[in-house]
Amino acid sequence: MLMHQGVGLEAFNAMPLRKAVHAVFECCYSVLLATDLAKLRPFPNHDSLFRAADQLLFDLSEESVDTILQAYPDVGRRPGSEKSAAEQCAIWCDQPEMMQRLATASKDYLDHFGLGFVMFINGYNAEQVLATMTDRLHNDLETERKIVRNELAKINRTRLERMLGPEGGFDNWV
């Protein structure tokens, strides 16, 4: 569970470095990215923080991205998870055969590319995720690594948005 939810951009900008690194790490699972992003503060708005996070992710080595991927559970690992609703681990289908097909495709993906499948699944169902995974198995490794970074960037953005809360901050009812 994220400890830092809805902290607001102003509070994030003012956090001590160690606490800011921890808050970002909860979103991206990379100490390097979290540290570099926290050191770039203050950010004038959410978009500038998101763009900086994307750039830092795209600048990471493949080894660093592989380390991040180790933190991602397989498709359907946490069915219906509220926290992970936009992530593939929350995918669920009441048909056991579909869940088995997803598990098999996930293993095939890992065997083929040597890295875990990751996808921003917000709004997709199990069948659509399976179709995407199957399609991506036709990619070469270089293409797939680019897609993985793009998917991680989408997931990071969702998590960073949750960490920060709304752009204007929360209304304080007095």
- The residue ranges of every structural domain in the chain are 9-164
Whether residue 76 has pLDDT greater than 70: no
The Cα 145–Cα 76 span in angstroms is 22
Spatial contact of 148 and 38, defined as CB atoms under 8 Å apart: no
DSSP alpha helices (H): ranges in the chain? 9-14, 17-28, 31-39, 46-59, 62-69, 96-113, 126-136, 141-164
Whether residue 1 has pLDDT greater than 50: no
What pLDDT is recorded for position 72? 82
What pLDDT is recorded for position 14? 96
Whether residue 172 has pLDDT greater than 70: no
CATH of 9-164, one of 3.20.20.140, 1.10.3330.10, 2.40.50.840, 3.30.70.1350: 1.10.3330.10
Tell me which of 93-97, 151-155, 164-168 is least confident.
164-168
What pLDDT is recorded for position 130? 94
Query: Once rounded to an integer, what is the mean pLDDT over residues 52-80?
Result: 86
